[in-house]
Structure 1
């Protein structure tokens, strides 16, 4: 079944939610967890599930994404048949930069139609988890479903209330309603992972083009739940739900919990990423590190606590970094103090500077800034 499955990844669907983090990159290429990008978890889930034909739909700001994924070699997707395909916006002269998933799929209609797959797995990049799609496809087949959507029953907090879609179901898990940004405290929240037959998807794309529907939620889940057999697959494992800069900070800080790391990085389902030949972390004589994730290539001469430090970060003598996320190439000068700070790549914090945010409102420093 998996060899006849096509994976489609939406890389740009939630770019507007992360503010300056996605100012010059797609959401798929946002750094996460010290040495990964969000796309790494999506591609690793697909390849670990046996799906070896994957297309990544792009829209804008996808240069860093292309640099990262390359030809897909790190994910075993560099193949003569199938493998990884980058799908920039293209199509007829009437094609538009897509407003929703259906228009995005319409722009790659010829790619989908030429695939020999029978089943399509579609996923966004805003939910970070370790999922086995073979279980979802088995459930899809058992239910004889037209469409299967993956959901998780959980609280709907203010920090992730943007672009939340919940579903209602009958006693057999058949979807009978879909709601966008509902005013409720908890619900069956969609994880933006969908299984559908290729033939049905082609028909839906053609109908959407003629009826001017561009939203998959409105055009299919809401309008089509009476005539299509749409079922919900309950997913109970850990999911990092990234809907805002605040939730990005919270989900990254959760990685310091060993139980979260065990669920997100199980040994039988490794997370692959672009390999970089970096030296191990070098610690100075008076350096101190506690409850932190520190990637290779770093030089630590100060104090690091409860933080996630990406590759190539340098922290000077006497500097103190707490409850912070420092991305690749960040430099922290001597005797500087950072608390609840998120720095993008290649940020310079000069000597004796103090930057303090709070866990409910972290202080963000944009890429390439010198403070």
Structure 2
């Protein structure tokens, strides 16, 4: 297996605009968006690479990549260049084109110079914006054993979800017979007519096969996209196989999330707050790495139960957070968040550096980095009012940025009296 891994190179595609995640992608690339507390989205695919024994990794970046580049530099310098290992960023260089990256395939094509210099026998192409745990070495071994020229990872989804994904048609041997982007009705899995196979954006290529395909595609008026152009063309030319992302013990698909929309992003974060989440951040056998800022432990202050109590239930709280006499329920707090007293936070994601003023009430919301929530703010309780001030998704998730002015709710005389009595007892917060 070691020799097989040494023959392999990885390229992570991390240059997408992420329009459906706007306004979270207003100032950052989609793979740089925070997820699950201290992590960035790209950390999951990079952790997969390291845990799989793959230590030659290119990252193709493009759109608003400053924070992503900084995160990679500060958090992923864990490999040994003396041993030929690297995690290296590839911005557009216009070596073979006058254009920036025009699609996923074009991003790889424009970097063939860097790829071929490494002389890999196999090239693994990965999307940098999905959340999952996967041992790529097993997929690579499957690719070799099947004699495949191309192997794509696929996951079972219900037929009703076909229109969200690139759908793979396979025969009984898992050989791919068709590929279609976001059809109304997907090809059923043999023996499971209610399910279809969705592409995960994870590909293993014989490098020579991919180079020829990219060179041919570059001269055609296509989308220069793996799902729309490269894979459909190669199906009829070389052996293309599907690698099923499946848990044999649970007899079900493993956890994989395309968090390309605000609702999907919110739901995946909320998954982490479950008592036994399907996606486990605490698995010592599959460590998740990231850049960890120097921050003290999270702190919860005031223990006046029923009066003023700092508490967090069914929540993920990152280092540097202080919850001062407020209640947090089913929420994810990124590093260095400060919640002042008498607040109630329910099913929320608070990005790094968020400050929440006293008496704020927030539910089903995403609060972007460094937002200052004023005293008495009311978010998520009146969606009609929220739509005048913030982005609100189809499912009612409110997204608050530094450009917004939240609604200030009325404070009752009882609340003000309650606050004054608490302050007389001392402690601030």
Shorter-chain TM band = over 0.9
SS in 2 for 1:297: coil
Shift in CA distance, 176/321, structure 1 to aligned 2, threshold 3 Å: same
Partner of 2:218: 209
Partner of 1:347: 371
Partner of 2:350: 326
- Number of aligned residue pairs: give it: 368
SS in 1 for 2:23: helix
The alpha carbon displacement at 1:206 in A equals 1.4
Alignment of 1:1-371 (within 5 A): 1-13=4-16, 15-70=18-73, 73-74=76-77, 76-77=78-79, 79-80=81-82, 81-92=84-95, 94-155=97-158, 161-162=163-164, 164-184=165-185, 186-213=195-222, 214-236=224-246, 237-260=254-277, 263=280, 265-285=282-302, 286-301=309-324, 302-356=326-380, 360-367=395-402, 369=404, 371=406
- Write the distance in 2 (CA, Å) between the matches of 1:45 and 1:25: 23
TM-score by length of 2: 0.81
Residues 78-117 of structure 1: per-residue CA shift (max 9 Å, x gap): 5243401100011237331222112111211101111132
- Write the distance in 1 (CA, Å) between the matches of 2:97 and 2:144: 37
Worse-superposed segment, 179-188 or 222-231:
179-188
Structure having greater relative contact order (Cα 8 Å, sep ≥ 6):
1
Give unmatched runs, 5+ long, in structure 2: 187-194, 247-253, 303-308, 384-392, 407-429
Worse-superposed segment, 286-295 or 215-224:
215-224
The alpha carbon displacement at 1:25 in A equals 1.0
Shift in CA distance, 258/116, structure 1 to aligned 2, threshold 3 Å: farther
Does the 8 Å contact 1:130/1:265 carry over to 2? no
Shift in CA distance, 135/21, structure 1 to aligned 2, threshold 3 Å: same
- Write the distance in 2 (CA, Å) between the matches of 1:231 and 1:367: 47
SS in 2 for 1:340: strand
Residues 154-199 of structure 1: per-residue CA shift (max 9 Å, x gap): 13667x955x211101111111111111113852111100001122
- Write the distance in 2 (CA, Å) between the matches of 1:157 and 1:59: 34
- Write the distance in 2 (CA, Å) between the matches of 1:93 and 1:145: 29
Does the 8 Å contact 1:95/1:107 carry over to 2? no
Shift in CA distance, 369/298, structure 1 to aligned 2, threshold 3 Å: farther
Does the 8 Å contact 1:72/1:78 carry over to 2? no
- Write the distance in 2 (CA, Å) between the matches of 1:259 and 1:176: 38
Shift in CA distance, 177/346, structure 1 to aligned 2, threshold 3 Å: same
Worse-superposed segment, 262-271 or 48-57:
262-271
- Write the distance in 2 (CA, Å) between the matches of 1:12 and 1:224: 24
Does the 8 Å contact 2:333/2:350 carry over to 1? yes
Give unmatched runs, 5+ long, in structure 1: none
